[in-house]
Amino acid sequence: MEVNKPVVLITGCSEGGIGYALCEEFAPHAEVVYATARRLEAMTTFKHDNIRTLEMDVCIPKSIEAAVREVIEKCGRLDIVVSNAGVGAFGPILDVSVDWARAAFDTNYFGSHRLAQAVLPHMFQRKSGKFILVGSIGGLVPVPWNGTYAASKAALHTLADVLRHECTPFNVQVMTLLPGFVKSHIIDNMHGFNVSPTSVYQPWNEALQKRFSASQTNPSCMPTKQFAKIVVKELLRKELKWFFYSGGYSTWMWFMTLWPRKWALQYFWRRNSK
């Protein structure tokens, strides 16, 4: 094995998603890639021999600790960690239960918080490492009907911004990866969406249905493999950017962050309420 090739760990690697594609793209450039997911049976079709699968539930601290411990015991280090595990939470704020919202935050925000506490001390000891948090363009400029998911990703972006500075004394780099529309199973995993017949938002049901599937049906949606190729090339650079945008509409959403915030929010209300 080549010493200069990185040891990589990625969360949320079920087949068909962003994490899975990142593992396959990283493999030729890595000493070993550790793919993790809640279920091992969701990761049985990797093509590269240096991809190892580990069970990890980012909502369970002991599960994270066990997986990280196994990597450190076998490899002695972790060079690149991508916190990718995430879940959707779609619907009007009033229709999303607090329990559902809490579950979304538990994975999308606290999952990365737990992972950071497990892996960063090892990187600090070596004064080296890259920690990448997968956010979302939805967390930059939130759109109607997707507020809970957007809020969880906005919280993650703040976590990344603070970690970036707190990791600097230890020579550990932190990047916020901001995917736009990218093919994945995030919609399938939510098992569809329908506005409750008793919801005050029933008149907007058609608009909600369009918005629910937009990230996967829009012609600008980027194939997962293409997205992974672009991202891995960026992550292998010596110096990471603080923020990296890729995927359908990602550049457009970045541009909208330069608008007065009221204009951007009003624009999305008009587009998503018809």
End-to-end CA gap in the chain: 56
- DSSP 3-state of 24: helix
Active site residue 109: no
Question: Tell me, what amino acid is at 141?
Answer: V
Q: Report the candidate in 177, 158, 175, 167 with the shortest Cα–Cα distance to residue 238.
A: 175
Q: Cα–Cα distance between 274 and 269 in angstroms, integer?
A: 9
Beta-carbon-side half-sphere exposure of residue 94 (alpha carbons within 13 Å): 7
Q: Cα–Cα distance between 190 and 93 in angstroms, integer?
A: 16
Catalytic-labelled residue, pool 20, 34, 149, 249: 149
Q: Return the sign of the alpha-carbon dihedral for residues 98, 197, 193, 220.
A: negative
| Residues 237, 243, 249, 254, Cα dihedral to 10° | -140
Q: Which residues are catalytic?
A: 149
